[in-house]
Amino acid sequence: MTNALVLLSGGQDSTTCLLDTLSLAYDEVSAVSFDYGQRHRVELGQARHILDVLRSRTGRALPHYVLQVPALRDLADAALTSPDIAVEATATSGAGNEYAARHGLPSTFVPARNAMLLATAAALAAKLDAPTIVTGICEADDAGYPDCREAFRLPMEAALRAALDWPELELAAPLMNRTKAETWKLAWQAAGEWGIELVRQATHTCYEGERRELHDYGYGCDRCPACHTRAAGWREFVAHEFNAGALA
């Protein structure tokens, strides 16, 4: 008898984590999304849509909590929250995200975001008696975020266990060492072809918020770093693992 709480942004990684969690033997699976003024609020709408599809497909309740984290919006200068800052793989000084520029990080890095979101999720998990918190953080795709690494996950898990006096609390990160191609494969293993189609068509990754054109890997602008990473993973998955004709 265990419950799991999945952080669901509406993107590829968190949706794949949700599919994976649903394929495991949890009694109840809940989802939490955060509203912190992210540039592409289209993600939140996609998260709701994804849960609607999964409820009708699985017959499970899948409660969804949307929590406001306005402090992140107030504090962050990142390209992920401000439309005035360009998306740069390594932030340049004067372009708006000075912390990222000083530390050689992408302009989309939001300082302490995952620490805040995971602590907030842990408060909800305590309320729900859900000792497994599932997050899509991943260090293998090399986006360069320090709070997506195992070196962050382990001490964060230890800190939350201590903070809550809850030794069973687990921060599960099923994608931690998976490449983007392996993430596509996990969706396939967890939910078959319909899982792939759900991830391909319903999840949102593009930094530009573009959802007008459906490419082989899903919707996106086809130009930003997030679209490039997603597309490269899809093509590697199709080339090595998956019969693309199955989707024709």
- Residues lying near Zn ion in the complex (CB under 5 A) are found at 206, 208, 220-221, 224, 227
- Closest distance of CB 235 from Zn ion, Å: 16
CB of 204 to Zn ion, least distance (A): 10
Answer yes or no: are the C-beta atoms of 106 and 143 closer than 8 Å. yes
CA pair distance 77, 154, nearest whole angstrom: 27
For residue 175, give every residue at least 6 positions away whose Cβ sits within 8 Å of its Cβ, in sequence order, or none.
13, 16, 17, 136, 137, 138, 140, 183, 186
Distance between CA 100 and CA 173 in Å, rounded? 24
Minimum Å gap between C-beta 207 and Zn ion is 5
Beta carbon nearer to Zn ion, 52 or 213: 213
96 token code pair: 């708006």
Residue closer to Zn ion by CB (options 37, 225) is: 225
Virtual torsion, Cα 202, 206, 209, 213, nearest 10 deg: -60
CB nearer to Zn ion: give 26 or 217: 217
Of 20 and 43, the one with the shorter C-beta distance to Zn ion is: 43
